[in-house]
A = this chain, B = another copy of it.
Amino acid sequence: MPYLNQCTQIPEPVDCRILTAALDLFVETGYHKVSIHEIQRRANVSIGSIYNHFGGKEGVARALHQHILRELEDMIERVCSGIDSPLHCCEAIIAKLFEHTETHRNIIAFAFHAKHSDFLPDEPLLYHSAPFSRMRSIVEKGMARGEIREMNSWVATSSVFGGAIRLIQLRLDGVIDEPLSGLHEQLMDAILGGVLPGRSPKKTAAR
């Protein structure tokens, strides 16, 4: 997560301070309940600067949105770079998402827990964004290679990632009180082999 992480260094560039302050506030309070004045206060900048850099509150949200989608995309690219099997790629993505849920909580929360269409109506749907399209195309490649059974690609993608995303949301809401990494193996068993008893896939079979 390159850019927003640089913000922990000094001196922090103004636009970066604004973005991190806005990210934190949006996640904590919800976009609509956050005023520009709060962002301004938390970021230690003036309202004028916010308008100069982003053109307003919605502009901040849009910049944040695009920034985080790009970081997610980069993450997927990085994680999958050395992996040939699409199925292992999916597994690695889920593991990394679980990891980021602990280490980059607000970024994951903004990506998976916010309803972007509520405040960025003109932005294309999240499902059509690069990282989510990428996940779907990986699943499709898995089907083409015979690693994943043939089925409707939305069903396949939802089956592979739906449970993981749900767990992430539960973790973000504090319903699950342990890091998700401890649940990763069980989840992968359920995704690959289903929930019926006596069908747990031998780990070697998928590797």
Chain A residues engaging chain B, CB cutoff 8 angstroms: 30-33, 113-115, 117-119, 125, 127-128, 146-152, 154-156, 158-167, 170, 173, 175-176, 183, 186-187, 189-201, 205-206
Contact = CB atoms under 8 A, between A and B. Distances in A.
26 contacts: A30-B115, A30-B118, A32-B118, A114-B115, A118-B118, A125-B173, A127-B175, A128-B175, A151-B189, A151-B190, A154-B170, A155-B167, A155-B187, A156-B190, A158-B167, A159-B187, A162-B163, A163-B163, A165-B166, A166-B166, A192-B195, A193-B193, A193-B194, A193-B199, A196-B205, A199-B199
Given A127-B175, A147-B197, A166-B166, 10 more contacts: A31-B118, A32-B118, A117-B173, A149-B189, A149-B190, A149-B196, A151-B189, A155-B183, A158-B164, A191-B195
Contacts of A200: 149
A148 B195 contact: yes
Copies of this chain present in the complex amount to 2
Which secondary structure characterizes the binding site on chain A? helix
B190 A155 contact: yes
Closest 9 CB pairs of A and B: A194-B194, A162-B166, A162-B163, A32-B32, A159-B190, A162-B162, A158-B166, A30-B118, A193-B194
A154 B172 CA distance: 14
